């Protein structure tokens, strides 16, 4: 592997690492929001069952 190839590989890995660091907080936020939405939906279904209503479709 030549020096130019090594520098190119290092630059590519650096850019990929920066991309991951920029995208990771967004992905964590999306996963967190989906979890909260699921918990809210389950709580609403539980409340509806306790009150004797049919669950919404």
Q: What's the pLDDT at 41? A: 96
Work out the mean pLDDT of the chain and round it to a whole number. 92
Residue 46 has pLDDT above 80, yes or no: yes
Residue 36 has pLDDT above 70, yes or no: yes
In the chain, where the domains are located: 19-49
Whether the Cβ atoms of residue 48 and residue 54 lie closer than 8 Å to each other? yes
pTM exceeds cut of 0.85 = no
Residues 1-26 pLDDT 10s: 899 999 999 999 999 999 999 999 99
3-class SS letters over 24-54 = HHHHHHHHHHHHHHHHHHHHHHHHHHHHCCC
């Amino acid at each position: 592997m030549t020096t130019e190839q090594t520098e190119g590989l290092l630059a590519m890995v650096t850019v990929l690492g920066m991309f991951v660091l920029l995208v990771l907080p967004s992905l964590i936020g999306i996963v967190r929001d989906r979890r909260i939405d699921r918990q809210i939906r389950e709580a609403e279904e539980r409340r509806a069952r306790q009150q004797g209503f049919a669950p919404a479709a």
